[in-house]
Structure 1
Amino acid sequence: MADFRIDDLARAAGTTVRHVRGFQERGLLPPPRMKGRVGFYDDSHLARIHLIARLKDRGYTLASIGEMLSAWERGHNLADLLGLERVIHDPWSDEEPARMTLAQVVRRFYPEIPEDALKGRTPADYPKLGRAEELEFIRWTGEEYEVPSPRLLEVGAELVEAGIELEAVFEIAGRLRGDVDAIARQFVRLTVEHAGLDARSGDRDVREVGEVIRRLRPIGMQAVQGLLARSLHAEIQAEFARQIESMGLTPPAPDARRTRTAPRPEAGRGAGAAGGTGQ
């Protein structure tokens, strides 16, 4: 479990120290663990701040959020509630974020630009990278880029190296993200319905809900990866057949090798063999 000082906690949560202190004053955030005169926060505090931010995004006021949290804490063990918050907000990937300079990012997407030409440049000189920020591939901090998923960034760079225009790469990414969001919503909705996690059923224990969410992680990833692998295989085969047909070629039959007859032996070799047998 990570230990955060208040400024580290604010940075990890994407907020300010002033807001963190405000949450504490309102009773929305549990007090830190004290070591001498220094307070230390942990992952449960970070999860609580993320939860508060999500509820605020949905239109709840801090007063109503405080009432909801108080109601939860009266009806459930606080440790179980904080544990559930951690489960909900823990990342689903073990991939570590990375940091890259402007030059490193530009070189991945614009490999034709000489490295010397990047000196003294700013992100404003490469407006197309703004779309990458909108898609959350990268985030400019003022000094460098934060890369939440280096794997995704590398996929985009590989597509550019394969000859796909950068704008098309971002268009593909935007469409895929919408499709993936729809898949995620459907998977979670169906699971909630069939696992009895609907909020209207009050017989669920917080720890039980947390356990179902933990199990959802590997199950969801395996389901999507397996289905995607099958779909990609079928689509690639179909596209290959279309490309061959457009070139006026006919792909060989699947059993062509098995039905091909073996070459006959040469006449001279066969006669010699027969003569040798007669001697």
Structure 2
Amino acid sequence: MSEGSGKREYRMEELAREAGITVRTLRFYRERKLIPPPRREGRIAWYDDGHLARLRTISALLERGHTLNGIAELAEAFDHGRDVGDLLGLGVPSEETPVRLSPEDLADHFGDQATPENLAAAMDLGYLGTDGTEIVHISRRLLEVSAALVREGVPLADVLAAARSTRAHAEALAALFADLVLARGDRGVPDLQRLRPLAKSVVEAELSMALDRVLRTQDPDAPRPAATD
């Protein structure tokens, strides 16, 4: 085991022992490109903690019922995913809290719905990005709501399709409120920041009333909200 430059590195036998697998299994994973190539120093192959984390992730996903083919596709998707900085927009203020996740965390949230196709769609939508060896979801609220919908029986593919449609409407609403500020000839972003809670309240109230109308259409006998003084 090497500790050079404060970075822990392992020979193949050491890495396999730390990961709780056999050297033969490690070679098989490497041949299937489930882990990145090691660093070469002459004839010695050195692996690092990133390789160890990937091996532990593979074991966790296998325990959750994922196949090696599916894991390989997930690994490729994450290795080629967009950098999280591109998604979040460095320096842009946001009320959303990003969440760091491992692939097994995603499996815990979405079960067998965490397929390569769905995760690729989430990356294309901008929900997921990568930060080194970690996965980042741009919004804890969206992550929790998406997982809750899946638990209610809504397919994740349908959740993501609805999210894409919602994104388009939300951007149109944001542009509408931005125009309210710009039409007054104000300073723009600082005033739009102050307008944000008011805009959110308008959208939330309108959505709530729209849902009321949909519910009454489906159930005409549903009680109507009582008026308050």
Equivalent in the alignment of 1:129: 119
| RMSD (Å), alpha carbons | 3.0
Q: 1:196 aligns with which of 185, 202, 223?
A: 185
Residue of structure 1 aligned with 2:153, choices 158, 163, 179 = 163
TM-score (norm 1): 0.43
In the TM superposition, residue 173 of structure 1 has moved relative to its aligned partner by 0.9
Question: Partner of 2:129 in structure 1?
Answer: 139
How far 1:151 moved relative to its partner? Answer: 1.0
Query: Structure 1's 141 and 240: CA in aligned 2 closer, same or farther, altered over 3 A?
Result: farther
Equivalent position SS for 1:229: helix
- Which is greater in Rg? 1
**Residue number in structure 2 paired with 1:17:** none
Contact 2:84/2:129 (CA < 8 Å) preserved in 1? Answer: no
* Partner residue, 2:192: 213
CA 1:196–1:172: 2 relative to 1, 3 Å: same
Whether the 8 Å CA contact 2:125–2:164 is kept in 1: the answer is yes
Are 2:222 and 1:233 aligned? no
Cα pair distance change 1:209/1:155, threshold 3 Å: closer
Counterpart of 2:148, as a letter, is E
Which residue is equivalent to 1:24? none
Work out the number of aligned pairs and report it.
139
Residue of structure 2 equivalent to 1:247: none
- Counterpart in the other structure of 2:93: 90
Aligned match of 1:149: 139
Shift of 1:253: 9.6
Instruction: Give the Å deviation of 1:209.
Output: 4.8
Calculate the TM-score normalised by the size of structure 2: 0.52
How many Å apart are 1:170 and its aligned residue?
A: 1.2
Question: Which letter does structure 1 place at the counterpart of 2:145?
Answer: V
CA contact (8 A) 2:122 2:128 kept: yes
User: What do the CA deviations read for 1:81-100 (whole angstroms, capped 9, x no partner)?
Assistant: xxxxxxxx322x1x421101
Deviations 1:165-195, CA, capped at 9 Å, x for gaps: 22111111111111111111122123321x2
Q: CA deviation at 1:224?
A: 1.4
Q: Secondary structure at the match of 1:128?
A: helix
Closer, same or farther in 2 for the Cα pair 1:106/1:214, shift >3 Å?
Answer: same
Q: 1:99 to 1:196 in 2, by over 3 A?
A: same
Q: What is the letter of the counterpart of residue 90 of structure 1? A: P
* Larger fraction in strand: 2
> What corresponds to 2:39 in structure 1?
none
Structure 1 runs, 4 residues or longer, greater than 3 Å off: 11-14, 208-211, 251-254
Structure 1: gaps spanning 5 or more residues = 1-10, 15-45, 48-88, 114-122, 198-207, 242-250, 255-279
Alpha-carbon offset, residue 233 of structure 1? 2.1
Of 173, 179, 182 in structure 1, the residue corresponding to residue 169 of structure 2 is 179
| Structure 2 CA distance for partners of 1:211 and 1:171, relative to 1, 3 Å | closer
